Amino acid sequence: MHALDTGARLSAVRFLPVLNPSTTPLRRRYFIVRANLPFPKHQAKYHKELEAAIDAVDRACGLCVDVKRSIFSSKEKILEKNDQSPVTIADFGVQALVSLELSKLFPSIPLVAEEDSLFLRENNLVSSVVSEVIAKASIGDNQLSDADVLEAIDRGGKDAYTFCNKPATYWVLDPIDGTRGFLKGDDALYVVGLALVVDNEIVLGVMGCPNWPGDDSDGSTGTLMLSHIGCGTWTKSLQVSGDWTRRFVDACGLVNKARFCIQESQTWESLPLSGFFNAKIDSDDLHRNEILLLPTCCGSLCKYLMVASGRASVFLLRARTQRTIKSWDHAVGIICVHEAGGKVTDWEGDEISLEEDQSERRLIFPAGGVVVSNGSLHHQILEMISSTSPTL
């Protein structure tokens, strides 16, 4: 990456009003910066890692777009894992691509990610994944072998690294959060999410959403969101040069005026707040005992992205005994919401810990579930949950 021109960056700052007040009436003012990064390097301790993460996620989103164009003409590219969740060559391709890009610059930092190559080998899809990775990789392009790509995937697999009970530095990757959305069509959102954890603290995160509806009048879609500890949350259009826009959570302070999103596999009636409010998907003529429930999008990271960008006020997730909660579904979202001014805790109000899974750092164990909010509403939401869940 090119060195940043700090003087040019600072001179490009200008304050602007909200671009789309009809959809985000409570979003705060933000400012725009034109640069490779939206802040000077000396303000960001992990700027080298952040630049690498931005490049890797941007490349990965390009791979997703290319695979999606052809995916419905080749059914062999869509598979189902043992838990009946869908997986595509894009999932494996993204993991291999990001792993290769990061290991080039930071070979000593381990990767915690969703996939491993065994499933790929068993379904004879290695060559398909390799060709997609070669098309987007910056290293060794035509030099990459099948073994290189498989090794890159397994670098993030379950048995790749043992952390033991001690602080650690590692990447957390969700290759495609919302694979069901990836398979649905152009309007269903999905996210490539990457975070860096240092001594059990999430210090940076990058999310790419190739079909995020754009804010600009030119009709462009796709967004890249980044966060760095102490430097805020920013977005720009995906895979094009352009301005970085600082993002903030919305300023809603009344629960019944908030915009909620929930997991697509859960119903409003299964959540504690249903005892206080009914949910409607139409914002017209809401009564005091009704809240607006935004249309569901697949995966958790899309909801974090919505809260961090001010398009939603609250994301609620209930933990279920029969299903584990994975670190990669939340890590990057947590820092993006925090740096946008929001808050993320479990249902008891404790911060989400990434170190409880001491040896692998693949699972998290939030008591009751996860509350993601604009911060202003957080205490009220927790009190409502507590009043209906005395055993938590």
Residue 72's pLDDT band (boundaries 50, 70, 90)?
A: low
57 pLDDT higher than 50: yes
Residue 285 annotated in ligand binding: no
C-alpha distance from residue 380 to each of 102, 145, 255, 258, 319 (Å):
41, 54, 8, 12, 20
Helix ranges, 107-172 (H): 117-122, 126-136, 146-154
d(CA 228, CA 357): 24
d(CA 296, CA 301): 12
Told to judge if 23 belongs to the known catalytic residues of this protein, a careful annotator would answer no
d(CA 213, CA 20): 12
Residue 148 annotated in ligand binding: no
Q: Beta partners for 34?
A: 243
pTM assigned to the model: 0.87
d(CA 228, CA 234): 9
pLDDT for 25 equals 41
Residue 186 annotated in ligand binding: no
CATH 3.30.540.10 intervals, the chain: 46-246
Told to judge if 179 belongs to the known catalytic residues of this protein, a careful annotator would answer yes
Token readout for 127 is: 């060559």
Residue 176 annotated in ligand binding: yes
Mean pLDDT lowest among 154-168, 213-227, 230-244:
213-227
Strand boundaries in 258-368, DSSP class E: 259-262, 278-280, 290-293, 314-318, 325-326, 343-346, 363-364
Contact assessment for residue 383 and residue 349, using Cβ atoms and an 8 Å cutoff: no
CATH code for the domain defined by 46-246: 3.30.540.10
* Greater pLDDT, 144 or 285: 144
pLDDT for 339 equals 98
Contact assessment for residue 144 and residue 130, using Cβ atoms and an 8 Å cutoff: yes
Q: Which of 91, 243, 250, 346 is catalytic?
A: 91
The topology (CATH level 3) of 255-388 is: D-Maltodextrin-Binding Protein; domain 2 (3.40.190)
202 pLDDT higher than 50: yes
Residue 58 annotated in ligand binding: no
CATH 3.40.190.80 intervals, the chain: 255-388
Residue 76's pLDDT band (boundaries 50, 70, 90)?
A: low
Q: Which of 55, 58, 116, 179 is catalytic?
A: 179
d(CA 338, CA 232): 8
Residue 17's pLDDT band (boundaries 50, 70, 90)?
A: very low
341 pLDDT higher than 90: yes
